[in-house]
């Protein structure tokens, strides 16, 4: 259903922390023109934990309005409250999103049965394709392959964003859920290795500032130009490193500010970058060829 280079969109903000809707709309359009295969608003990189509900829904709506059907919009709709996740998913469907990205519930630490019941309740309530977002470092829970296989039998649950960085996981997921279950990496460093293990694409942080390179890497892989894909992968490594030198999305927002796409502002409790990190991001951007 989804493949190639997808972007986990930043949410541009002004110096006072308000959402910069004009900059955001221009950013989404730029991403599509640069070859990004799908846009994913209000995930982790979009600072969903610190957007209020009205802002969250508006950010989804703008992405859909700008995309105009040119690429799919996979709307972030997750929450540690099942009722809240259902509301956000209903909004995503009404707004015209092609799918919803729903994170495993954070803080609550549900059991595997709790995870199953949470996602089943959302999928039962809203007729919209759902991508499970499994990110143990952020949510503290790890959905097992067995639980994902149970959920994959629901007609509305179509895939996973796998941010475990465990390259054995897509092999087991493919066997348990079937080749038609869409597997998207959530970890830039291992994107090509994930494709080799049966994945379909990557929901990328790095694509926020290097969308064309990320798109070309996936195109090369899909066309069987493996050496070309590896060359681009090698070129991007220092940028991947720099963009995760501090808590994301701090570094990638700073990188986008260097391109004139947004201010570098993140909402508290994310702090401004340390100067050493900012220098590392600038150097990586230059090394990759994104800055003069």
On the 0-12 / 13-18 / 19+ scale of CB atoms within 10 A, 24 is buried
Closest CA relative to residue 126, chosen from 160, 99, 153: 99
C-alpha pair distances (Å), 188 with each of 64, 180, 207, 265, 291: 25, 22, 9, 23, 20
Cα separation, 273 vs 247, whole angstroms: 9
Task: Report which secondary-structure segment, H or E, holds 159.
Answer: strand 157-162
Does residue 161 carry a catalytic annotation? yes
Closest CA relative to residue 190, chosen from 199, 181, 182, 178: 199
Half-sphere exposure in the Cβ direction for 289 (13 Å, CA)? 6
Task: Report which secondary-structure segment, H or E, holds 176.
Answer: helix 169-177
Strand partners, 160: 132, 183
Residues 57, 161, 253, 261: which is the catalytic one?
Answer: 161
Residues 3, 133, 254, 261: which is the catalytic one?
Answer: 133
**Cβ-contact 167, 183 below 8 angstroms:** no
**Catalytic positions:** 133, 161
């Amino acid at each position: 259903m989804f493949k190639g280079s997808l972007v986990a969109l930043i949410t541009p903000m002004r110096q006072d922390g308000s959402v910069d809707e004009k900059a955001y709309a221009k950013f989404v359009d730029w991403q599509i023109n640069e070859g990004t295969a799908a846009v994913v608003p209000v995930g982790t990189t979009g600072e969903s934990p610190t957007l209020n509900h009205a802002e969250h829904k508006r950010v989804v709506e703008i992405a859909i309005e700008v995309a105009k059907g040119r690429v799919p919009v996979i709307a972030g709709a997750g929450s540690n409250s099942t009722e809240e996740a259902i509301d956000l998913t209903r909004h995503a469907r009404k707004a015209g999103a092609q799918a919803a990205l729903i994170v495993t519930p954070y803080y609550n630490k549900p059991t595997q049965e709790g995870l199953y019941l949470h996602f089943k309740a959302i999928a039962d309530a809203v007729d919209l394709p759902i991508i499970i977002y499994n990110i143990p470092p952020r949510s503290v829970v790890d959905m097992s392959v067995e639980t994902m296989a149970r959920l994959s039998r629901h007609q509305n649950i179509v895939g996973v964003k796998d941010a475990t960085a465990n390259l054995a996981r897509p092999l087991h997921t493919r066997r348990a859920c079937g080749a038609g279950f869409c597997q998207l990496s959530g970890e830039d460093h291992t994107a090509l290795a994930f494709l080799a293990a049966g994945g379909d694409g990557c929901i990328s942080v790095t694509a926020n500032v290097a969308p064309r390179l990320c798109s070309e890497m996936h195109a090369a892989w899909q066309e069987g130009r493996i050496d070309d894909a590896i060359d681009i992968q090698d070129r991007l490594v220092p940028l991947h490193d720099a963009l995760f030198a501090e808590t994301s999305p701090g570094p990638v927002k700073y990188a986008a500010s260097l391109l004139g796409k947004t201010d570098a502002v993140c909402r508290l409790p994310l702090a401004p970058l340390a100067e050493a990190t900012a220098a590392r991001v600038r150097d990586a951007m230059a090394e990759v060829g994104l800055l003069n």
